[in-house]
Structure 1
Amino acid sequence: MARRDLDRAGAGQRHQVTAGDLVILRLPETPTSGYRWALDGYDPDVLRLAGDEFRPAAGSALGGGGEREFRFSVVGAGSSPLRLARRRAWAGAGGAAEQFEATIEATD
């Protein structure tokens, strides 16, 4: 099993992985601002969400920023979009302050 680490720089790109791999996406977030990263789409036949966790930055004070980490297990071959948006939950789908989209290409 290999691990593929992604961040903002991976947006708009295609990422090659193999079934059984782990994809870890880290995006900057300050939850106390109300803006949080939310999943907007992926193919569950290719990816399975294995975790979603906020990690405060080292030395960050309470309420400070850090990174949102999404972990996905690659469960099958195929192509899957990976779409997320950073928005306030009460603002709905149209209130995204930032978006992330990449394509995960998985082989057996």
Structure 2
Amino acid sequence: MANLELTESDGGRSYSPSPGDVVVVQLPETPSSGFRWQLDTVDASVLAPAGDSFRPDQAGLGGGGIRQLRFTVVGPGRTSVRLGLRRGWETDGPATRRFEVAIHVAGD
């Protein structure tokens, strides 16, 4: 079991983790602006959401930090992890930024 850690620079790429691995997406965010990274698409039969947390920068209150979304590889198949940076109350609105990676998990 391994962690596959992805950052903003990894967007647009493809990855092939193994069952039991954990995919960790870490993206910059400033929650006090009202904008948060939100999950738009993932096939939960391939990657099961396993957590969402925020780690503030050293600056303290009102500052930015890193949003961390975790997914456990639970089965074979192909899926995309698509995230959008938008205000929480604008779930239908367009994202100001996007992040997407392709995931392929080989079968037995």
Q: TM-score, normalised by structure 1?
A: 0.94
Cα pair 1:42 1:83 within 8 Å, conserved: yes
Cα deviation for residue 94 of structure 1 reads 2.6
Does 1:33 pair with 2:33?
yes
Q: Where in structure 2 are the equivalents of 1:1-108 lying within 5 Å?
A: 1-57=1-57, 59-108=58-107
Hey, what's the Cα distance between the residues in 2 that align with 1:24 and 1:44?
A: 15
SS of residue in 2 equivalent to 1:91: coil
Cα pair 1:47 1:76 within 8 Å, conserved: yes
Hey, what's the Cα distance between the residues in 2 that align with 1:63 and 1:107?
A: 43
SS of residue in 1 equivalent to 2:28: strand
Give ranges in structure 1 of 5+ residues lacking alignment. none
Give ranges in structure 2 of 5+ residues lacking alignment. none
The structure carrying a bigger strand percent of its residues is 1
Cα deviation for residue 9 of structure 1 reads 1.1
Give the 4+ runs in structure 1 shifted more than 6 A.
none
CA RMSD of aligned residues (A): 1.0
Size of the aligned set, in residue pairs, is: 107
Identity of aligned residues (%): 46
Name which of structure 1's ranges 85-94 and 66-75 shifts more when overlaid on structure 2: 85-94
SS of residue in 1 equivalent to 2:17: strand
Q: TM-score, normalised by structure 2?
A: 0.94
